[in-house]
Every structure is written in structure tokens, then in C-alpha cells.
Amino acid sequence: MAREKEIARSDNASDKNKQRRAFIDKSMKLGLAAVAGTFGVTRLIESAEGKAIPGESVELMTTDGKLVKVDQRSVEKIPEAEHVNPREGFAHRKFVMVIDLARCKNARKCQSSCNKNHYITGPNAWLKVYKMQNSEEESPYWQPTTCQHCDKPPCVKVCPVDATFKRRDGIVLIDNDRCIGCRFCMAACPYSTRVFNWGEPDQPEEIAALPNDLDYGGVPAEKGTVDKCDFCPHMIDKGKLPHCVTACPNGVFFFGDQYEDTVTNGDETYRLSELLEEKSGYRLMEELGTKPSVYYLPPKDRLQEFEKGLDNYDEFNSVEKEEKS
């Protein structure tokens, strides 16, 4: 008799566990939400009994792009963005970028926006667009190139004063107050994405007078120090996308959280893993073992023919000055 009761209790526990797993699986399928202008993703949570509490319904987007209605009280609300320690970054986050080379037409709105919002001038642009061609027989394409924010950054290892460092959310930054201008990091970077301020940076007086702020890289820039792309932590802190992502008219740049397996360009949202698998995503110089946080989608199935675009920097620089004026 005791044995039968034990078996019954075991069966009941098993049934409850199955129900619990089924509910969690269902919740996970509804985990993606379209958030305008942000890359945030809401997660569904279960009540103590594993049932949704009655209330008003809200629309969420499923992983296959369908809108479904769920109970509002079963959705975990995204809290207001809290200021984080700029040297530590966000806990439980891993920021990544995906660049779709098939969409790039060398409009350089990404570069212009980055320069404008970080007060960068001249050839010290953090984001550069290169004309690439694997052979004379193959079609050329444009490749936006920026700091790769490596998981194993060689630049961090060689810095003698801890000026360049990697945060726990994967972002690699530079503390200009610590930088002594040795340029060891520039020599160690295999992607040549760092720039050096040889002279006094051409920044507005009100910007140059600001104290060094790790939340806002490159502001102010200082003579004799190194600069580079910072993934716009000041925008992430506000729950917004980096400037290059929002400025691109062709949706080339996608940004998101690898742990949430989600990236967006503001208009389109994808599962990172599925996007990389379906589009044959890759990383630059994978064989070096630096493990970049920037992925590329190959320039295939292009809708438009290759366009020359703005391949002359002086020409682009004059256009940029006209836009500012």
C-alpha cells in the first residue's frame, strides 16, 4: 500500500513537472517582442501556479514574426534603464553587431552620424567603409569596418596602464585619462580600427571643456591618445541603438544581445543564430582566435548592382561639412 502511494505521488510530481515545462516552452516561444527604436526583448514569466493572471491583453511578436495577444500581467515589464558602471558594463548581456554586406551601397550615413555624434573630424573616423574585391573576376562590394569588440582582445593584453579594457557585456573601451599614447594597442589590433590623435582634436570648445566620460567615448578627444568605436554605450544606457544602426538608410547594421539571441536594425528583428546560419554569417580573421563580436553576412543575392558611392574621402568630407553647416 505504501509502495502504491509512493508511485502515485511520483506520477503526480511528474505530471506537474511536465505541465511546468510545457508552460515554460510556450512562454519562451512568445519571448520576442517588437520594441520600436530599441533592441529590448521582453520575457514572459509564470505565476506561482503556472497560470496567467487575468487582466488586459497586449500584443507580442513570436519568433516566426506573428503577432499574438497575451495577458499583460504575465509579461515582465522592462525596468527603466539604470546607470551602470562604465568600466563594468551590463550584467548578463553580450552585445553583438551584424553587418549585411549585400545591403551596403556606401551611402556612409553611418560614418557621418558616428562622426557627428562623437565629434570626430578628419581621417580619424571610427567607422570606415572599404571597397573589397576578392579577385578581378568577382564583383566588388563595400565593407563597413569598425572595432570588432573581441571576446579575446589583443589590445587589452598589451596595454601597460589598463587604459583599454573589456567590459562584462563584451564592449571594449578606452579610458583617455589613463592612455599614455604608447600605441601598443594599435600595433596589436589585427583589424587596424584604432586611430591616434596626433594633434589637438578639432572639437567645439564646450565639448573640449568637458571632463573625460567613459559613458560617452571620444568626448572629449585628447591629443596623444587613442580612439576607436565604442558601440555607443551612452545610447545603450538609454535603451537605444548605436548611431550607425539608426542612421543607415538601407538597414545594413543589426545590433542586439547574443544571450537573448536577438538583433535588430530598428525595423527588422531576427534571431541571431538563425540569421547567421541562414545567411552564412562569418567573422573577420576568425583564424586568429580573437572571437569578434561583429559578424558579417556575405554580399550575395544583392538587389542592386555595385555602386561607386563616395569612395573619395575628400569628397565625402566636404559633403559632411555642408550637412553640418
pLDDT higher than 90, residue 318: no
Give the integer Cα–Cα distance in Å for 2 and 48.
Answer: 30
pLDDT higher than 80, residue 194: yes
pLDDT band at 269 (very low <50, low <70, confident <90, very high): very high
Cell of 208: 573640449
pLDDT higher than 90, residue 314: no
3-state secondary structure of 57: strand
Concatenating the DSSP letter of every residue in 96-122 gives: EEEEETTT-----HHHHHHHHHHT--T
Q: What is the pLDDT of residues 121-164, one digit of tens each?
A: 778 999 999 999 888 888 899 999 999 999 999 999 999 999 99
Residues 6+ apart with CB under 8 A from 265: 241, 245, 248, 251, 252, 253, 254, 255
Pairing type for strands 95-100 and 294-297 reads: parallel
pLDDT higher than 50, residue 229: yes
User: pTM for the full model?
Assistant: 0.72
pLDDT band at 45 (very low <50, low <70, confident <90, very high): very low
pLDDT band at 62 (very low <50, low <70, confident <90, very high): low
Largest distance between two CA atoms of the chain: 90
The pLDDT mean for the chain works out to: 78
Q: Name the percent of the chain lying above pLDDT 70.
A: 66
What is the structure's pLDDT at 86? 85
pLDDT higher than 50, residue 96: yes
Q: What is the CATH code for 95-324?
A: 3.30.70.20
Q: Give, in order, the Cα–Cα distances in Å from 30 to each of 93, 269, 325.
A: 20, 14, 47
**Higher-confidence position of 110 and 75:** 110
What is the structure's pLDDT at 236? 93
